[in-house]
Amino acid sequence: MSAEEMQTILETADSMKQVLQRPIKKVPALRGKSVCTLFYEASTRTRTSFETAAKILSADTTTIATTTSSIIKGESFKDTLLTLSAMEMNCFVIRHSMAGAPHFAARLTKAHVINGGDGMHEHPTQGLLDMFTIRERKGRLEGLKVAIVGDILHSRVARSDLWGLTKMGASVTVCGPPTLMPPGMEAAGALPPVRVTYNLREAIEDADVVYVLRIQLERMKVALFPSIREYAQLFGMNSEKLKWAKPDALVMHPGPMNRGIEISAELADSDRSLVIDQVTNGVAVRMAILYLLMGGEGE
Ligand code: CP
């Protein structure tokens, strides 16, 4: 996605946020359109915000969860998608543990496909809502310094934020234990150029935003750090450590949070934290994406 395309989504989300804040949250923009959320992994924020966004825009929504569908009987991803597609869905929002699943789906169906998070690859709408939230509070993205801290290796959020923020002119530092850093991170090509450090203080000095990632214990096949306690000591963020960053630095987290591990409860709940703003903005950004894909769509 180009910087111009991202800018269009962010500007459309500005208008959508106004709709979201009205007493009556309903506009007819997507009347007659259907949005199906097809999630093979757990989700609270992404799925609910897409469904909320679709409903505000008057689209009809269908939720498919692995535990209550024929997926549990062994139906393949392809057959599930073809079946739902045959019901003339206009749009699928797909979360899957396999990288590339939404891309594969887009080749099978004529419906629009939105990536709701695919394996360790990308979580593009999270990246967009993060950029929207930073831009809303700081007034810009260009020239800002963002430190992304934690489990970079397993994080699709980090990858989408890296692509998005660097294209929009922010500079990004990534920080975490060496075992949670993707190999070749500093090499050009696979990911955009970023500064890599394994020292938290060095990472967040001069940062405008400290973006804390969740430790994804469920994706770790082997122990990648000695203990949770040691991780929290070296890489966990709290209000004391935030003093190393700029005086007006803000803290973000995609959720769900492991309070007391990567972020302290007092910092998560403080006025320096944008965690709740990220959730609200997730609805506005997803409304913008659904609207740009299907609003005013002709034959
Ligand atoms: N940030 C995020 O993707 O949260 P969910 O897993 O709850 O959707």
Q: Pocket residues for ligand 1 (CB within 6 Å)? A: 43-46, 117, 123, 126, 254-256
Q: Which of 152, 191, 197, 138 is nearest to 173 (CA)?
A: 197
Which pLDDT score, from 0 to 100, does residue 187 have? 66
Compute, in angstroms, the gap from residue 135 CA to the centroid of ligand 1. 21
The pLDDT averaged over each successive group of 10 residues in the chain (299 residues) is 97 98 97 97 97 98 93 96 97 97 98 97 98 98 98 94 96 94 73 90 97 85 81 96 98 97 97 98 98 80
Residue that the structure tokens 């309903």 belong to: 26
Distance 43 CA to ligand 1 centre (A): 5
In whole angstroms, what is the distance from residue 220 CA to residue 69 CA? Answer: 28
SS3 percent helix, strand, coil of the chain, rounded to 5, is 45, 15, 40
Of all protein residues, the one whose alpha carbon is nearest to atom 4 of ligand 1 is 45
pLDDT of residue 93: 98
In this structure, which residue's CA is closest to atom 3 in ligand 1? Answer: 46
- Say which amino acid occupies 165: L
CA of 275 from ligand 1 middle (Å) equals 12
Res 224: pLDDT: 78
CA distance 168 to 162: 10
Ligand 1, from 37, 38, 40, 43: best to mutate by most atoms within 8 Å of Cβ? Answer: 43
pLDDT at 299: 40
3-class secondary structure, 57: coil
Given the CA of residue 117, which atom of ligand 1 is nearest to it? 3
CA of 251 to the centre of ligand 1 (A): 17
Percent of the chain whose pLDDT exceeds 70: 96
- Measured CA to CA, the distance from residue 218 to residue 209 in angstroms comes to 27
